Amino acid sequence: MPPSDETGHYHRRMQRVLDHIDRHLDGDLGLEALSQVAAFSKHHFHRQFSALFGISLHRYVQQVRMKRASWQLAYRGETVTDIGLDAGYEAPDSFARAFRQRIGQAPQAFRENPDWSAWATALAPLAQARSRLMTQRFSIDDVTLRDMQDEPVALMTHRGDPPLLGETIRRFIAWRKATGLRAATHATYTIFHTDPEVSSPENYRIDLATAIRRALTQQDAEAGAEASVIPGGRCAVLRVLGNSDDLRPAAEFLYGTWLPASGEELRDVPLYAQRVKFFPDVPEVEAITDLFLPLK
């Protein structure tokens, strides 16, 4: 049953709060400020938030900040002290203590060797809370058809257990930084060769790729990069806004709803995504991912 107009209005006010938190992680995210964003009484807002999302407002804000901090530690070059300040902690030791309590590792240990399985477990309440309102719903009209040109890329392949993908991402980012292939000027792609829910961990494969207009060097090869091409042709394209940790709902919509209704046939080319804007370079609510389904 679709939500009533009153329920929809209520949820939109709460959605406004979640968007505000994403966009103002360095600002005042206290009870009074956020109740004003929602236009609810501060005397009741914390209970309203907990009842709807299954997590307290204070813990939600902490988890969003910790998620950004963990991505900064794993994939960016800011100092631990600066990351702690960004997360709202005035002293490095207080940030280290809080990060260890919530993520299970000290910040420096996470930077050097992240335990992604423990990370996912620690942030599961955040993912569950966000899924209450922030799961994007798609319609047939959201899908566009594009004629794509061949895209020469340099790619780094991850094979093996999906939870270890984070280490491949780290190597990919480090190689891009070392070679000047900045995401701002070189398109970033993810190529999905297998489905982790149906393939065994040892057979799981996903490619991380960047557009490139030069021949690869010995230095590139030693870093694990190889030359390839994303084949051109017709594609159905679905834009995903916000969180892109799990693109399964978007892929299932393309395969299960759009494709049967379209009358189209698939090419023998893997599903792939272009990361147009990504977290933590932009607030998570502003992330953009285009999912490409190759067609005949």
Instruction: Express as a percent the part of the chain with pLDDT over 90.
Output: 78
The CATH superfamily holding the domain 5-130 is: Homeodomain-like (1.10.10.60)
- Residue 88 confidence (pLDDT): 87
- Residue 101 confidence (pLDDT): 92
- Residue 36 confidence (pLDDT): 95
DSSP secondary structure letter of residue 149: P
Model confidence, pTM = 0.87
**pLDDT tens readout for residues 9-21:** 899 999 999 999 9
Q: What is the CATH number of domain 140-294?
A: 3.20.80.10
Confidence at 201, pLDDT banded by 50, 70, 90: confident
Hunting for tokens 């609510």 — which residue is that? 285
**pLDDT tens readout for residues 204-236:** 999 999 999 999 999 999 999 999 999 999 999
Report which residue type is found at 202.
E
Question: Which SS3 state, helix, strand or coil, does residue 81 take?
Answer: helix
Residue 126 makes CB contacts below 8 A (sequence gap 6+) with: 55, 60, 63, 64, 67
Confidence at 4, pLDDT banded by 50, 70, 90: low
Least confident interval from 52-56, 134-138, 277-281: 134-138
**pLDDT tens readout for residues 79-104:** 999 999 988 898 989 999 999 999 99
- Residue 1 confidence (pLDDT): 47
- Residue 161 confidence (pLDDT): 86
Question: Which SS3 state, helix, strand or coil, does residue 152 take?
Answer: strand
pLDDT > 70? residue 292: yes
Helix H or strand E segment including 205: strand 205-211
Residue 234 CA from chain centroid, whole number: 26
Cβ contact 142:239 at 8 Å:
yes
- Distance between CA atoms of 191 and 154, rounded to whole angstroms? 12
- Residue 77 confidence (pLDDT): 85
3 or 6: which leads in pLDDT = 6
What are the structural domain ranges in the chain? Answer: 5-130, 140-294
